[in-house]
């Protein structure tokens, strides 16, 4: 879902002939891209409003009418020859090399590189920037332009840049724009604030955008500015809203004494249901019910409690509300009460016993409970998330109730996902094959569920083949040129087919990690963009870090050592000069997933150590996205590189600690960045989970001494650590920061050890109340001992921790579409 919108034109002859656009006027032109992007209409309205409130936008941003005749000072080359270059850095270099001629003037006016005309950086960002490096260079140029533009033009530039960055999901570059917008000496207008919020809502939901929206709303409250209703609609949209955004929006509504509309209440109800907050969801449903009663609506939505009304009606809101229940008995009781209100027929009460399949016969009978297929699927969802209901009881209940309804892909996906949640992989794969035999149309979410089921059942080759099949069907549909606006067409063959998104790829990567195939996980990371046009996000990075940590176990085996020496059979990655890169990447993954051959797993990423490659990706992400972090200084230095050093050389360690001589000079993380060209990942913004995975990987690679530097980056990015992350840090930091009793006596009590220094630094950062306690420290020690004692990945597969094994389940709400 990409967007190519707000195109800037370099000259009048490039402007298409549109009835509403004159050749010499607006330069904001929108058109649809070959791919779907739901925010197209929202961005169209956004661009129009920017032009409405910024009267001189065309004058400020449009190229001069005589652009073809305008030349650079000291050079006969005109603007068109400069802008024809496909490389952004080349264009910027040429513009910096010579001065700019004044628009509409015969004089030569030499200006600095920071005084480009306003249309120039925006044109590069919208028209020329294609690679991450080009976009970051254009973003830097826009930042330079903001310092020389007037307040109104600068605000328009910021809004346009934020909206454009949503096309590539480049969230890491938003913080600088929002900070300059809010800290401007001239307070932006209320409409500018609303437009900025709507531009932010074009980005995918994430922790970073939630924090930015909360800061913008706080600035609006400080200046007594109100949020418009379309802005509320955009912020509460299901593709963007998070718990933090919802909390900030509700706080802003109370501050401005604004009542949420029925649409806002529906969005909030959907959010609370997704997080299974039953009480909050009931409150929003009851508010909708009471409002419809006051407005004397023809049909009143059934509320969370029984109410006898003649015009009562069960709607899709009740079906969504069912998913917030945590016990199947409560969900089925609600269905019983709701259907009794409609049928006016007595319904016998029933009991639900956990793990007893025979009791389910009384529950799913149509004569006992009259429910439609959506309510039935919602009840299945609640039962699938209840730990007390066994997989056998859940599957039996589904079989007994499935005969009353027509086969549905959504019902099959709900049951398959429930069986995966209950670790019944064989039945999950069998049920998926059964749904495929019925030739039910696939949807995007079901593709990820089926991929995970097949891979966890020991058939990763079939899982990858499913992704390839779905992608081929989607590409064939695009090439046939069927209408993009026929999503709601009645004919199934006219509906757009399912597509491979990050959720499906993540499901496959997690399954492969759990079944001990790190080589395939690394290959999917390398070829994700080549195969499906997808860029990795923060969840992809978390999976890679955890996989590299467990792959370290393979490097200590005989096979891993042979691979390190260059022996053994390994499959080389596809050649970069292949005529068809996608075919080569797919063939490479199919080859390493060949079920007829025994996999040669060494724990290495191509020919390098998996841990070193993963750390290189992390360092390039941090120092490429935020160059200021290159000058970060850790708050404390370790006494030794890792916990192994004191065991290998206790005498040298004692001499270094007594004399104060540092045991090492340069940080290995900085060395990884300096030894390789920077490859930024602007679409990745790390979270607390990411930093915990980084610390785990540093410990696995015996780089305990780099923990303070990572914490410095975390604090600089204003990411608040959880107690679990701090417990992980302290448990492993003690190995490289504590002296032996003999050395401690020699040093004396005046010199504090690095462990105490780091604890004091953390307390100053998060506060004493947010420091980990005995429970968190004990849990982390058990977790560390489990990883240390695990010797082979077959043991790891059997005893994978619940917190790591359900990474994608926790992140599922970010991709799930109902």
- How many angstroms separate the CA atoms of 579 and 359, rounded? 61
Tokens of 551: 């792959």
Whether the per-residue pLDDT at 483 is higher than 60: the answer is no
> Quick one: pLDDT at residue 349?
36
Q: Is there a domain that residue 704 lies in? A: yes
Domain of 78 in residue numbering reads as 12-258
- How many angstroms separate the CA atoms of 708 and 641, rounded? 12
Q: Which residues fall within 8 angstroms of residue 189, CB to CB, at 6 or more apart?
A: 53, 155
Lowest-pLDDT choice from 343-347, 441-445, 484-488:
343-347
Strand partners, 18: 21
- How many angstroms separate the CA atoms of 38 and 203, rounded? 11
Read off the DSSP letter of residue 722.
P
Whether the per-residue pLDDT at 127 is higher than 90: the answer is no
Please report which residue ranges of 54-173 form alpha helices under DSSP H.
Answer: 57-61, 79-83, 88-97, 119-123, 132-146, 151-168
> Quick one: pLDDT at residue 59?
39
State pTM to two decimals: 0.81
Q: What does the pLDDT average to over 746-756?
A: 67
Helix (H) or strand (E) holding 776: helix 774-789
Q: What does the pLDDT average to over 480-504?
A: 65
Give the end of a domain, one of 258, 280, 313.
258
Higher pLDDT, 645 or 394: 394
- How many angstroms separate the CA atoms of 35 and 601, rounded? 38
Q: Is there a domain that residue 90 lies in? A: yes
Higher pLDDT, 544 or 360: 544
> Quick one: pLDDT at residue 292?
83
Whether the per-residue pLDDT at 807 is higher than 70: the answer is no
Higher pLDDT, 784 or 63: 784
Q: Is there a domain that residue 120 lies in? A: yes
SS (H, E, C) 437-480: HCCCCCCHHHHHHHHHHHHHCCCHHHHHHHHHHHHHHHHHHHHH
Measure the CA angle with vertex 227, ends 221 and 232; round to 5°: 125
> Quick one: pLDDT at residue 802?
42
Q: What does the pLDDT average to over 145-159?
A: 84
Q: Answer yes or no: are the C-beta atoms of 756 and 781 closer than 8 Å.
A: no
Whether the per-residue pLDDT at 178 is higher than 90: the answer is yes
Residue-wise pLDDT tens digits, 274-321:
888 888 988 888 888 888 888 877 777 878 876 655 567 777 888 888
Band of the pLDDT at 115, cuts 50, 70, 90?
Answer: low
> Quick one: pLDDT at residue 210?
93
Lowest-pLDDT choice from 63-72, 345-354, 744-753:
345-354
Q: Among 492, 448, 440, 441, which residue's Cα sits nearest to residue 466?
A: 448
The total of structural domains in the chain comes to 2
Q: Is there a domain that residue 598 lies in? A: no
CB neighbours of residue 438 within 10 Å? 10
Band of the pLDDT at 585, cuts 50, 70, 90?
Answer: very high
SS (H, E, C) 506-518: HHHHHHHHHCCCH
Higher pLDDT, 293 or 451: 451
> Quick one: pLDDT at residue 100?
47
Strand partners, 7: 29
Lowest-pLDDT choice from 8-22, 169-183, 601-615, 635-649:
8-22
> Quick one: pLDDT at residue 689?
94
> Quick one: pLDDT at residue 675?
58
Q: Is there a domain that residue 811 lies in? A: no
Lowest-pLDDT choice from 108-117, 163-172, 377-386, 691-700:
108-117
Beta strands 604-605 and 312-313: pairing type? unpaired
SS (H, E, C) 605-660: ECCEEHHHHHHHHHHHHHHHHCHHHHHCCCCCCCCCCCCCHHHHCHHHHHHHHHHC
Helix (H) or strand (E) holding 210: helix 207-222
How high does pLDDT run on average in the chain? 75
Q: Is there a domain that residue 788 lies in? A: no
Main-chain phi, psi angles of 609, to 5 degrees: -65, 130
Band of the pLDDT at 47, cuts 50, 70, 90?
Answer: low
> Quick one: pLDDT at residue 352?
38
Whether the per-residue pLDDT at 574 is higher than 80: the answer is no
> Quick one: pLDDT at residue 104?
34
DSSP track, 332-344:
HHHHHHHHHHHH-
Helix (H, G, I), strand (E, B) or coil at 123: helix
Whether the per-residue pLDDT at 473 is higher than 50: the answer is yes
Main-chain phi, psi angles of 261, to 5 degrees: -75, 175
Q: Is there a domain that residue 453 lies in? A: no
- Is the backbone of residue 439 left (phi > 0), alpha (psi -120 to 50) or beta? left
> Quick one: pLDDT at residue 83?
73
Residue-wise pLDDT tens digits, 657-693:
444 444 455 566 766 666 566 667 888 999 999 999 9
Lowest-pLDDT choice from 50-59, 104-113, 350-359:
104-113
Lowest-pLDDT choice from 119-123, 281-285, 531-535, 814-818:
814-818
Q: What does the pLDDT average to over 150-173?
A: 87
> Quick one: pLDDT at residue 89?
80
Helix (H) or strand (E) holding 520: helix 518-532
- How many angstroms separate the CA atoms of 330 and 50, rounded? 50
- How many angstroms separate the CA atoms of 745 and 552, rounded? 37
What does each C-alpha distance from 203 to 37, 170, 377, 603, 726 come to in angstroms? 11, 8, 31, 36, 30
Give the end of a domain, one of 225, 258, 291.
258
Helix (H, G, I), strand (E, B) or coil at 604: strand
Beta strands 604-605 and 608-609: pairing type? antiparallel
Q: Is there a domain that residue 577 lies in? A: no
Higher pLDDT, 123 or 177: 177
Q: Answer yes or no: are the C-beta atoms of 520 and 512 closer than 8 Å.
A: yes
> Quick one: pLDDT at residue 220?
94
DSSP track, 328-397:
HHHHHHHHHHHHHHHH----------TT-GGGGGGTS-TTT----HHHHHHHHHHHHT-TTS-HHHHHHH
Whether the per-residue pLDDT at 247 is higher than 90: the answer is yes
Lowest-pLDDT choice from 34-38, 201-205, 584-588:
34-38
- Is the backbone of residue 800 left (phi > 0), alpha (psi -120 to 50) or beta? beta
> Quick one: pLDDT at residue 36?
31
Whether the per-residue pLDDT at 97 is higher than 80: the answer is no
> Quick one: pLDDT at residue 429?
95
Residue-wise pLDDT tens digits, 327-382:
877 777 777 777 665 544 333 333 334 444 444 444 444 344 456 788 888 888 88
CB neighbours of residue 551 within 10 Å? 28
- Is the backbone of residue 680 left (phi > 0), alpha (psi -120 to 50) or beta? beta
User: What sign for the dihedral angle of Cα 618, 622, 624, 630?
Assistant: negative
> Quick one: pLDDT at residue 68?
44
Residue-wise pLDDT tens digits, 617-662:
999 889 888 888 888 889 998 887 665 555 444 444 444 444 444 4
Lowest-pLDDT choice from 127-141, 438-452, 568-582, 721-735:
568-582
Residue-wise pLDDT tens digits, 184-199:
888 888 989 999 999 9
Cβ-count burial 166-190 (b if 16+ within 10 Å, e if not): bbbbbbbbbbbbbebbbeeeeebeb
Q: Among 202, 283, 212, which residue's Cα sits nearest to residue 240?
A: 202
Residue-wise pLDDT tens digits, 496-513:
788 999 999 999 999 999
Q: Answer yes or no: are the C-beta atoms of 633 and 715 closer than 8 Å.
A: no
Q: Answer yes or no: are the C-beta atoms of 203 and 169 closer than 8 Å.
A: yes
Give the largest Cα separation in the chain, rounded.
Answer: 92
Whether the per-residue pLDDT at 793 is higher than 60: the answer is no
Tokens of 716: 């600089």
Lowest-pLDDT choice from 166-170, 339-343, 424-428:
339-343
> Quick one: pLDDT at residue 72?
41
Whether the per-residue pLDDT at 3 is higher than 50: the answer is no
Band of the pLDDT at 212, cuts 50, 70, 90?
Answer: very high
Quick one: what percent of the chain has pLDDT higher than 90?
31
Give the end of a domain, one of 258, 273, 292.
258
Higher pLDDT, 168 or 571: 168
Whether the per-residue pLDDT at 486 is higher than 60: the answer is no
Lowest-pLDDT choice from 514-523, 531-540, 558-567:
558-567
Whether the per-residue pLDDT at 77 is higher than 60: the answer is no
């Amino acid at each position: 879902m990409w967007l190519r919108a707000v195109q800037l034109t370099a000259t009048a002859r490039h402007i298409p002939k549109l009835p509403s656009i004159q050749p010499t006027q607006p330069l904001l032109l929108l058109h649809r891209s070959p791919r779907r992007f739901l925010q197209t209409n929202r961005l169209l309205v956004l661009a129009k409003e920017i032009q409405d409130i910024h009267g001189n936008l065309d004058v400020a941003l449009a190229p001069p009418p005589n652009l073809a005749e305008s030349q650079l000072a000291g050079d006969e080359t005109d603007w068109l020859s400069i802008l024809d270059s496909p490389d952004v850095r080349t264009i910027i270099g040429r513009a910096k090399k010579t001065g700019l001629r004044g628009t509409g003037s015969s004089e030569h006016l030499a200006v600095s590189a920071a005084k480009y005309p306003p249309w120039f950086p925006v044109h590069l960002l919208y028209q020329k920037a294609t690679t991450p490096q080009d976009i970051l260079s254009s973003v830097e140029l826009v930042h330079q332009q903001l310092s020389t533009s007037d307040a109104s033009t600068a605000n328009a530039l910021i809004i346009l840049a934020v909206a454009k960055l949503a096309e590539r999901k480049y969230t890491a570059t938003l913080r600088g724009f929002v900070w300059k917008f809010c800290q401007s000496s001239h307070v932006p207008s209320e409409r500018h604030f609303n437009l900025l919020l709507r531009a932010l809502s074009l980005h995918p939901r994430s922790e970073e955008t939630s924090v930015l929206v909360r800061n913008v709303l706080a600035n609006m409250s400080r200046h007594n500015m109100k949020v418009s209703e379309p802005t509320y609609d955009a912020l509460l949209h299901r593709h963007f809203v998070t718990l933090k955004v919802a909390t900030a929006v509700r706080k802003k509504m109370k501050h401005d004494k604004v009542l949420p509309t029925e649409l806002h209440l529906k969005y909030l109800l959907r959010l609370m249901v997704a997080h299974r907050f039953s009480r909050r969801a009931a409150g929003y449903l009851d508010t909708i019910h009471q409002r419809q009663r006051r407005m004397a609506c023809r049909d009143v939505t059934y509320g969370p409690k029984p109410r006898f009304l003649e015009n009562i009606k069960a709607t899709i809101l009740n079906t969504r509300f069912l998913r917030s229940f945590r016990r199947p008995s409560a969900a089925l009781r609600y269905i019983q009460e709701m259907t009794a209100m409609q049928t006016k027929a007595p319904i016998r009460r029933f009991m639900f016993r956990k793990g007893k399949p025979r009791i389910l016969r009384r529950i799913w009978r149509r004569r006992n409970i009259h429910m439609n297929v959506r309510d039935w699927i919602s009840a299945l969802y609640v039962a699938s998330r209840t730990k007390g209901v066994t997989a056998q009881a859940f599957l039996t209940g589904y079989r007994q109730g499935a005969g009353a309804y027509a086969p549905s892909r959504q019902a099959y996906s709900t049951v398959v996902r429930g069986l995966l949640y209950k670790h019944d992989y064989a039945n999950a794969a069998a049920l998926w094959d059964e749904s495929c035999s019925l030739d039910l149309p696939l949807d995007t979410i079901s593709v990820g569920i089926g991929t995970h089921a097949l891979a966890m059942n020991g058939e990763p080759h079939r899982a990858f083949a499913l992704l390839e099949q779905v992608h081929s069907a989607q590409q064939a549909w695009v090439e046939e040129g069927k209408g993009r606006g026929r999503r709601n067409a009645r004919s199934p063959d006219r509906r757009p087919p399912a597509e491979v998104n990050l959720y499906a790829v993540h499901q496959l990567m997690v399954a492969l990690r759990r079944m001990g195939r790190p080589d395939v996980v690394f290959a999917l990371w390398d070829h994700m963009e080549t195969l499906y046009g997808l860029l990795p996000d923060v969840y992809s990075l978390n999976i890679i870090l955890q996989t590299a940590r467990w792959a370290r176990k393979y490097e200590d085996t005989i096979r891993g050592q042979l691979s390190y020496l260059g022996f053994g059979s390994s499959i080389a990655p596809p050649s970069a000069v292949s005529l068809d890169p996608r075919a080569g990447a797919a063939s490479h993954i199919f080859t390493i997933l060949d079920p007829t051959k025994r996999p040669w797993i060494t724990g290495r990423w191509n020919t390098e150590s998996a841990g070193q490659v993963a750390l290189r990706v992390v360092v390039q992400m941090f120092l490429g996205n935020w160059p200021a972090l290159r000058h970060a200084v850790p708050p404390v230095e370790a006494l030794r590189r890792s916990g192994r050093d004191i065991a290998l050389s206790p005498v040298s360690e004692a001499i270094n600690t007594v004399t104060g001589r540092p045991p090492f000079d340069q940080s290995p993380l900085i060395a990884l960045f300096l030894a390789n060209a920077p490859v930024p990942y602007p679409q990745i913004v790390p979270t607390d989970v990411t930093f915990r995975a980084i610390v785990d990987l540093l410990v696995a690679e015996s780089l305990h001494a780099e923990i303070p530097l990572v914490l410095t980056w975390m604090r600089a990015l204003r990411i608040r650590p959880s107690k679990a992350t701090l417990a992980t840090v302290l448990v492993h930091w003690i190995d490289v920061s504590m002296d032996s009793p003999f050395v401690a006596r020699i040093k004396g009590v005046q010199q504090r050890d690095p462990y105490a220094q780091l604890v004091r630094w953390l307390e100053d950062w998060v506060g004493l109340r947010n420091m980990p306690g005995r429970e968190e420290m004990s849990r982390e020690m058990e977790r560390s001992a489990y990883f240390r004692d695990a010797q082979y990945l077959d043991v790891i597969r059997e005893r994978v921790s619940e917190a790591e094994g359900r990474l994608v389940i926790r992140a599922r709400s970010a991709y799930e579409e109902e």
